[in-house]
Chain A
């Protein structure tokens, strides 16, 4: 399974622009390689769709864009497509008071412990809020 490259990109002449708004800047070739989707990425896609569906409308895709655009340059450049999504979904369900931050963190700890017990791979990284 191919992995997208992680690097912080130079933004020459980008003064005043938001971190995502890079159209026309010289930033090297675009990575056009197709990437396989992991199960968690498909689940992230499904979760987002359910949360923004007209019946639920927990937030809008515009809200998700806003959260992603506020990550800061390094986090924006060095995270993959669905890593940006899941962090935004997590933050927005807390922002909209569907879950508390404590509930999310307790559940993460629980899942981590369960995975460790069964010998599954657990990331050491904590995704910043």
Chain B
């Protein structure tokens, strides 16, 4: 899920899984999430073979954790009929549009929020 955000608005973010059907995509209990809202992170710059939900334009980019959605089975292995374990915490990560695009013409406060699984995130600083 990708969501563009105009300017600097409210900092309140609800946590919702958005999945009502219990299936491979329902949230599992969160055993441990490495990051918390406000943490500075960087998206891993690795290349992959096969299904992957981390868009190319975010690889290596710096962002901030906005919220934790829950823990979900890993789509990278679910895609090959495996159980998708270990499950991965899924975060809403906020990026500055100016950090993502060289010639971004919009206001400097514009942000983009993208859902990213924990195994794609690294500590920044």
Which residues of A are interface residues toward B (Cβ below 8 A)? 16-18, 21, 23-24, 52-54, 57, 59-63, 65-66, 69, 95-96
Contacts and interface: CB of A to CB of B under 8 A. Distances in A.
Contacts of A95: 81
Given A21-B55, A54-B21, A66-B51, A59 B81 contact: yes
Contact of B78 (A16, A24, A63, A69): A63
A13 to B, nearest CB: 10
B7 interface: no
A5 to B, nearest CB: 24
A57 B78 CA distance: 11
A23 B57 contact: yes
| Chain A residues touching B, majority SS | loop
A34 B101 CA distance: 29
Contacts of A65: 51, 75, 79
B11 interface: no
B39 to A, nearest CB: 24
Contacts of A52: 23
- Top 8 A-B pairs, shortest CB-CB distance: A66-B79, A62-B79, A66-B51, A54-B23, A62-B75, A24-B57, A62-B78, A17-B56
